Amino acid sequence: MSDIAFRATATPLILAYQLRSSPAHIGFWCPWCRCIHVHGAAGGDGNRCAHCHAKSSPFFGHGYDMLFAGTVRSGRMIPQMSAQEMIALSNHLSGVGGDYFPWRPLLDAAGNAIAKRRISGP
């Protein structure tokens, strides 16, 4: 699908959104499965087991770290990133290197810039 890949030694970082319609859940759009993966919000950010059913997904049989990016009214409001964008953003946030697309600022669901909290340090 893409010539770039998640760094093999780093757990992928995925932007996740809390659902106002179901506040006990956070989720993200998976470009490989072409659906929304929803997880419990308890504990906020952190590692989750993948719900991917597509064997072509790099998450299949693995997990990922979810990074809270904001709240949306429902799952239909979760931003859809392409596989290439998701990989590039994860590699950028985890300090692997590579520039995240400078033409697409990192925004939360409300359109506000996301601070690089927990990523670049205090």
Specify the pLDDT at position 61: 81
For residues 75-82, give the mean pLDDT. 85
95, two tokens: 């300090």
pLDDT at residue 59 greater than cutoff 70: yes
- The residues facing 13 across adjacent strands are 65
For residues 17-25, give the mean pLDDT. 87
pLDDT tens-digit map of 93-112? 776 655 555 444 555 555 55
Beta-carbon contacts of 59 under 8 Å, excluding residues fewer than 6 positions away, are 12, 30, 32, 50, 52
Specify the pLDDT at position 28: 92
